[in-house]
């Protein structure tokens, strides 16, 4: 397990909030803004596993870094957990990101999609609810080209390089041994916490 620390983000100014109001924050709130948060990178590999990746480019299992050309660039500086996640993706390792709402998990998912497009592979983005799948389809269609949707009710561009679908659709494909899955490099599970009572698992 690897831990790294980074300064926590300060409180954002709310609409209509004046600087005077913000300057009246308590001392404890100010101390909180100057605290650090911890990013935990935990690795699970088979006994005797040796990565074939060049450590000069990809780092090590304990300290993954990526010094190559990024599949996607961002208008902001990646947080430590995002950098580690991107590095692990570039090492072709599975990644589970657990972070609070609005922490930036989507940036990691989008990087995996960008990698798939760069490497001319197929990627599946799945969520447990049709409404979430529809929303994600709209968002990803603005960011990427060649995005399809499969929810049971709606099927759009089923041969797209990036397929957004519900977990039920993915389960059906797995049971049928769908040809689509033979071309898939990455499967992204969004909102996985919704699935703890799901028959998918």
Does one domain contain both 110 and 130? no
Does one domain contain both 82 and 133? no
pLDDT digits (tens, 9 = 90+) for 75-116: 999 998 899 899 999 988 889 888 888 889 999 999 999 999
Q: Which residue has the tokens 């060049």?
A: 54
pLDDT digits (tens, 9 = 90+) for 138-188: 999 999 999 999 998 999 999 999 999 999 999 999 999 888 888 899 999
Torsion of CA 183, 153, 195, 102, to 10 degrees: 90
> Is 7 within a domain?
no
Helix axis angle for 130-143 and 105-118, nearest 10°, is 60
Does one domain contain both 94 and 130? no
pTM to 2 decimal places: 0.74
Does one domain contain both 110 and 135? no
Does one domain contain both 145 and 190? yes
Domain boundary among 119, 139, 165: 119
> Is 168 within a domain?
yes
199: left (phi over 0), alpha (psi -120 to 50) or beta: alpha
> Is 23 within a domain?
no
Does one domain contain both 166 and 194? yes
């Amino acid at each position: 397990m690897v831990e790294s620390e980074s300064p926590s983000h300060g409180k954002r100014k709310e609409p209509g909030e004046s600087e005077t109001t913000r300057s009246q924050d308590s001392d404890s709130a100010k101390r909180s803004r100057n605290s650090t948060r911890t990013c935990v990178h935990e690795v699970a590999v088979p006994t005797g596993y040796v990565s074939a990746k060049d450590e000069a480019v990809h780092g090590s299992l304990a300290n993954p870094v990526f010094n190559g050309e990024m599949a996607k660039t961002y208008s902001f500086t990646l947080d430590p957990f995002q950098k580690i996640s991107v590095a692990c993706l570039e090492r072709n390792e599975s990644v589970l990101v657990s972070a609070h709402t609005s922490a930036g998990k989507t940036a990691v998912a989008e990087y995996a999609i960008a990698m798939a497009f760069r490497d001319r592979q197929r990627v599946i983005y799945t969520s447990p609810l049709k409404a979430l799948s529809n929303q994600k389809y709209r968002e990803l269609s603005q960011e990427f080209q060649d995005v399809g949707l499969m929810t049971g009710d709606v099927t759009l561009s089923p041969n797209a390089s990036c397929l957004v679908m519900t977990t039920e659709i993915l389960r059906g494909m797995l049971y049928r041994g769908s040809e689509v899955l033979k071309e898939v490099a990455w499967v992204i599970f969004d909102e996985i916490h919704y699935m703890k009572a799901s028959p998918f698992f």
